[in-house]
Amino acid sequence: MEGAHQRERLAHAFLISGAAGSGKRELAAQVIKMVNPPADDGGSDLFGEPEEGPAPPNLDSLQGEFVRIVRPRSKSRRILIDQIRELERSIYLAAPREIWKVGVIVDADRMFDEPANAFLKTLEEPPPRCLLLLLTAHAEILLPTIRSRCVNIVLQPTERYEVLAEDERKAFAGILAQGTQKPSAHRALLLKASFESLLAARKSAIKSANDVAQKAERDTYKQATEGDWLDEREKFYEAKSASEYLAVRSALVDWLISWLGDAIRQKVGVSELGFAQHVEETAKFAESQDLNALLKRIDTLQELRDLLNTNVPEGLAIEVSFLKAFGG
């Protein structure tokens, strides 16, 4: 991003997504400092050495005449059309030639209908030296037309997130370890069935949790909000459930890729592993496969990850990919 800025080829819109704790706001603050660097006062200490720079600012401290931050309003927890209109007005204001006008939308997935369509027009025809940063933990909820007009930056949590519980990891590792025997379609379909069973259980749990949250909101606000707000919240929770499920599904595929990655690491003599607790299983798997076969299996699962982001039916994509990755 910094290189693109130096070459004067910086995109006008970035979608920064990631779970809580992944540093979305911190990255947005750094980007704002990059395009509108603070003045250097040239200060020095008693020994004539340059003083250490100030601590990285938080996002809110950067808000000002040419930096606008939009958040969902507290009562309805959504971004309203008048907030988007105000953002539009601010980015079309005249500014000194060296200044960038920046708009940051925090929790951008909470733009619905009219606000989202109004913002889309801004994305399509931005003024010069304008930068738009959308921050969200649920990028899939945004309109596809908004996502397609942004450069996507996906951040990972600073701490490792274990998508599988201990008993689930052991079950998966046990099935994968059977690959040390002669690969077969039967074993591939067994692993596929376990994978789909886990997906179904997670999908049900996500929906149940969001149904409870939606009911609590409805009970709390049904007498205090406008009529269409509750309907919009229902759409929000449906989209949130879908988004969270897609995130879990992607993480499970990544887990399988990482497990096979450990087998490759052991095959080439690397001692540092992602899943040290499964070192025996991955070692056996590595011994039973040549390096090219292991690489092809990982390639197949990476293709599956890409396929699942298209309109290909989920079940068909998983079955074909598991047969290719683990069946032969």
List, for residues 185-200, the tens digit of each pLDDT value.
888 888 888 889 888 9
The parts of the chain modelled with pLDDT lower than 70 are: 1-9, 20-21, 39-57, 74-77, 156-164, 172, 174-175, 177-183, 221-229, 328
E-only strand ranges, the chain? 13-17, 67-70, 101-106, 130-136, 151-154
Please tell me the predicted confidence (pLDDT) of residue 86.
92
Q: Which residues contact 101 (CB under 8 A, 6 or more apart)?
A: 66, 67, 90, 91, 93, 95, 127, 129, 130, 131
The string over 42-62, giving b where at least 16 C-beta atoms fall within 10 Å of a residue's C-beta and e elsewhere, is: eeeeeeeeeeeeeeeeebeeb
C-beta atoms surrounding 29 within 10 Å: 21
For 83-120, how does the pLDDT look when each residue is reduced to its tens digit (9 = 90+)?
A: 999 999 988 888 888 888 999 999 898 888 888 899 99
Please tell me the predicted confidence (pLDDT) of residue 76.
58
Please tell me the predicted confidence (pLDDT) of residue 41.
45
Helix (H, G, I), strand (E, B) or coil at 116: helix
Please tell me the predicted confidence (pLDDT) of residue 243.
75
Q: Which residues contact 293 (CB under 8 A, 6 or more apart)?
A: none
Please tell me the predicted confidence (pLDDT) of residue 194.
84
Please tell me the predicted confidence (pLDDT) of residue 312.
86
C-beta atoms surrounding 87 within 10 Å: 23
Q: Kindly list the structural domains of the chain, giving each domain's residue range(s) and its CATH number in brackets, ordered by start.
A: 2-37+55-154 (3.40.50.300), 166-326 (no CATH)
In Å, how far are 26, 30, 161, 247 from 23, measured between CA atoms? Answer: 5, 11, 15, 18
Please tell me the predicted confidence (pLDDT) of residue 124.
87
User: How far apart, in whole angstroms, are the C-alpha atoms of residue 258 and residue 162?
Assistant: 12
Sheet holding 101-106, edge to edge: 67-70, 101-106, 130-136, 13-17, 151-154
DSSP letter string, 260-311 = HHHHHHHHTT----S-GGGHHHHHHHHHHS-HHHHHHHHHHHHHHHHHTTTT
With beta carbons less than 8 A apart as the criterion, state whether 304 and 286 touch.
no
Please tell me the predicted confidence (pLDDT) of residue 109.
84
User: How far apart, in whole angstroms, are the C-alpha atoms of residue 276 and residue 44?
Assistant: 49
Please tell me the predicted confidence (pLDDT) of residue 320.
92
Name the token pair of 190.
């067994």
Name the token pair of 271.
């001692």
Among the listed residues 31, 35, 29, 36, the one whose alpha carbon sits nearest the alpha carbon of residue 55: 29
Please tell me the predicted confidence (pLDDT) of residue 140.
73
Please report, as a single letter, which amino acid is at residue 50: P
User: How far apart, in whole angstroms, are the C-alpha atoms of residue 105 and residue 69?
Assistant: 6
